[in-house]
Amino acid sequence: MNKKFVPVMITPFNLKAKVDLDVVSVLVDFYLEAGVKGFFANCLSSEMYSISEDERLELTRHVVKSVAGRAPIVATGSFGLTIEDKADFAARIYDTGIDAVILITGHYANVEDNDDILLRNFDKMFRLTHDIPMGLYECPAPYKRIITPEVFGTLLDTGRLVYHKDTSIDLEKVKAKLEVLQADPHGLEFYDAHTPNAMYSLQMGATGMSSISGNFYPEILVWMCNNATNPDRQDDVRWLQGELSRVDPLIHVAYPMSAKYFLQKRGLPVRTISRAFALELTVQQKQTLDDIYKSFLGWCERLEIKPVQTSRLIRPKMPLDPPI
């Protein structure tokens, strides 16, 4: 089975902190040139809790337009106070042209609620959304609701799920869910969000990866997905996994601002403006990211990966941040 890397898209903003759709188009081309096999729009990396309902729809609609059928797209659609509200928004975001609507597990039960309540609310959501393809996302916000293998199996049996983004981090939990899936696949694609798990999850049968590291160096994650199960490249796979695990805690600091800084360093017209992270990056944070950028170039050299030539991408004419 071919493995896939699916980026969790960031949202670029202009100088007025409005969603910059021109740069979204540039990012789409950047991701595709890097070799990604899909897109996760309107997710936590997209600062979905910091943009309005209309912006979520506009952003997702623009991603669909920019991708233009070159890869499948999923987007979060479980917003609203009630299950009825969530079903209504799911229908509206599905109408933008995406391939599946992703439901945040923490949106269907309070932190103190048991799994019976979670399953009851999912059942109601499925009934209200008819035949819309759905997926699950164990999003860290509003709180991280990790589903058990038993709940995973029950939800799989509904036949409504085509996608799962796992954030459990714990490889034993990932393995347990993959075993449920392998016993009765239901056509679902399973993605691990935790880069330090990449080699292991891919070798255990995950469809692919969908981690924030793809907003720094998607070419590297694409290489890992392509080679994790390649018997001829296992020395390189293990070496790269060690490198990715080494820098992973560092790129999470001040995210998604850190990713925007990194992408700008790579030559993309992404401003270091974020609604989710209000502070400026410190001198030390920038130095850390500069060092990771040097590591990235070294990884590419060893693995014979050609980084995306961002100068070839069409850029909107705009004033950028001061040179880095």
pLDDT digit string (tens) for 278-307? 789 999 999 999 999 999 999 999 999 999
Portion of the chain with pLDDT greater than 90, in percent: 92
Q: DSSP secondary-structure letter at 13? A: B
Domain of residue 277: give its range. 4-312
Determine the average pLDDT of the residues in 3-7: 98
Instruction: Note whether residue 236 is domain-resident.
Output: yes
The answer to whether 164 and 147 have CB atoms below 8 angstroms apart is no
Q: What is the DSSP letter of 108?
A: S
Asked if residue 321 is part of any domain, the answer here is: no
Within a domain: 188: yes
Domain count for the chain: 1
pLDDT tens, residue by residue, 217-233: 999 999 999 999 999 99
| Residue 53 in domain | yes
Q: What is the pLDDT of residue 102?
A: 98
Residue-averaged pLDDT of the chain? 95
Does some domain include residue 319?
Answer: no
pLDDT at 321 over 60: no
Q: Where are the alpha helices (DSSP H) in the chain?
A: 21-34, 53-67, 83-94, 115-128, 149-156, 171-183, 198-204, 218-227, 234-251, 257-265, 283-303
Q: Which of 81-85, 171-175, 246-250, 315-319 has the lowest mean pLDDT?
A: 315-319
DSSP annotation string for 27-57: HHHHHHHHT---EEESSGGGTGGGS-HHHHH
Residue 165 lies inside a defined structural domain of this protein = yes
Query: Does residue 323 lie within any of the structural domains?
Result: no
- Per-residue pLDDT tens for 108-133? 999 999 999 999 999 999 999 999 99
pLDDT higher than 70, residue 316: no
CATH number of the domain where residue 255 is located? 3.20.20.70
